[in-house]
A and B are shown apart, each in its own frame.
Chain A
């Protein structure tokens, strides 16, 4: 008996140490995933007595969503928002890192990084003024470059989504820069010395060495950026409330509206599942593209 327990020797300690974390992750991530999945097959509307208790409806919530022009627009907005914001911000953050890793530019790090510690609500409130037509500073700045287009950034359905992109770009580029700075610091200095002696220009050494060497950092940063883009709607809440006519609504914002304004629990569960799937498609594609790129190096 004693021998047997000794041989197995599966200690309970590691499980107990993990238990608190696991408990909260299961309660607030795993269980809600399952609950949303299940809930998405039920009509469950708190403002309609008949549906106050969930009624099974198969795929009706999904078909309703994909038939709705409103939802398709919001889905498209979300994809546009992620596809534009993430690459632009990540590229900018890489350039900031390469630039600010130089000793003489070091002191500018604080200036570029500081928006990261600003709450997005605050940033959006400040930018609300910058986007004001007529005297807003952003328009004045664009005016310096000869911009004469429409000025009502948050009120124009063609511009409102880009207003959100601009704010996030300004706020996040400095934040992601930090991860690249950490990566740049670990680059082998002797390689660059050798490159310089061989007469390779900065552009060649950037594409041939810097970029491939920072591949892991890039994968990390793009993943963080994609998840961040899906997660943040604070600027939507403050600046545009999704308007005008849903032109700047994002999935998470819409999910919130459907749940707490339309009180439609079933439909919002279906949106949750679509949001999670879309997020996974983005992060997994990103991962696969990055892995594939590795074969060429």
Chain B
């Protein structure tokens, strides 16, 4: 009796060790690209990659980073990216919270149709409409500016949707009571609704920032000089520079210059990131 129980327990133990090992292997495999690029970017100059020499060089050096910065103005790109994500997010937060509030709190003729028009933007990616949007930006005289990259995203269906969802979860009585007390819409919005949507603000901000930090095609089309180019466009051009070729150390350094700020933020605020994205799904 006690014998069979022992076997049962050890079987379970073996099983749990095996599943843990599989988990570790998968997790390691998943992170190899990032680990490799970190290691590769630190390879000393003049040590080419070849069969059997794909990981560590003879030591570590920051040469590749210095070289990358000398070949392309990554500092300028960095500032542009920061300006871009701020310009997008700041406006989006205002427009989306207001429209989300309107769709959640008010009843008005045409509400459904207006909501559907806004939601159209979630179904049809703005970047797919690059031909006419390019024309619009040109006629506005904004070509090759931060505004040109940001403006098409100032109205956000996703943001509107998220805020509407959040606000609909707040009991109407709160808003109605405030209205009876003589509060106007702005006081209701600011004092009742906004304070209850903190996690939505965070969730939306995280997704908006990483979305626009990482976007390539639209900024690539709508910029032509380093004064406006963001990091992603800088990197895409960098990989195609003649003198960069297949210098993997240098490419890795450039890649990480672009990716690291977000990766570091993510590692620091892991929980917020994961929860933010979890909150942004459909409930």
Residues of A in contact with B (beta carbons under 8 Å apart): 10-11, 13-15, 17-18, 20-33, 35-36, 39, 99, 104-105, 108-123, 125-130, 132, 134-135, 137, 140-141, 170, 174-175, 178-179, 181-183, 185, 216-217, 220, 227, 230-231, 233-234, 237-238, 252, 255-256, 259-260, 265, 268-269, 272, 275-276, 279-280, 283
Contact = CB atoms under 8 A, between A and B. Distances in A.
B224 to A, nearest CB: 11
Interface stretch (B2-10, B57-65, B261-269): B261-269
Given A22-B155, A181-B278, 12 more contacts: A13-B185, A14-B106, A18-B118, A24-B153, A25-B117, A25-B157, A114-B31, A125-B254, A126-B255, A129-B49, A178-B281, A234-B236
Given A21-B95, A117-B210, A217-B281, A28 B31 contact: no
B131 interface: yes
Contacts of B114: 18, 22
Nearest to B29: A141
B69 interface: no
Contacts of B248: 129
Contacts of B127: 231, 252
29 contacts: A15-B108, A18-B98, A21-B118, A22-B155, A24-B151, A25-B121, A27-B136, A28-B126, A36-B131, A99-B23, A114-B266, A115-B34, A118-B262, A119-B213, A121-B214, A123-B33, A125-B239, A125-B254, A129-B251, A137-B54, A175-B277, A178-B278, A183-B281, A217-B281, A252-B128, A256-B217, A256-B221, A259-B134, A272-B129
Contacts of A28: 121, 126, 129, 133, 136, 151-153, 155
B281 A182 contact: yes
Interface string B133-160: 1111000000000000001111111001
A237 B216 contact: yes
B183 to A, nearest CB: 13
A38 to B, nearest CB: 9
A30 to B, nearest CB: 7
Given A99-B23, A114-B263, A233-B217, A33 B124 contact: yes
Interface string B241-256: 0000010100110111
Contacts of B54: 135, 137, 140
Contacts, number: 266
Given A122-B235, A252-B217, A280 B33 contact: no
Contacts of A10: 108-109
B30 A35 contact: no
B25 to A, nearest CB: 11
Given A108-B27, A125-B235, A179-B281, A29 B108 contact: no
Contacts of A170: 30, 33
Q: Main SS of the interface on chain A?
A: helix
Given A29-B124, A113-B274, A121-B236, A134 B51 contact: yes
B131 A255 contact: yes
B131 A135 contact: no
Most buried by B among A117, A140, A182: A117
A121 B37 CA distance: 14
A214 B267 CA distance: 29
Contacts of B32: 137
B130 interface: yes
Contacts of B95: 20-21, 24
Contacts of A108: 23, 26-27
B130 A29 contact: no
Contacts of B236: 121, 234, 237-238
A126 B266 CA distance: 19
Contacts of B83: none
A17 B101 contact: yes
A127 B40 CA distance: 13
A18 B239 CA distance: 42
A21 B130 contact: no
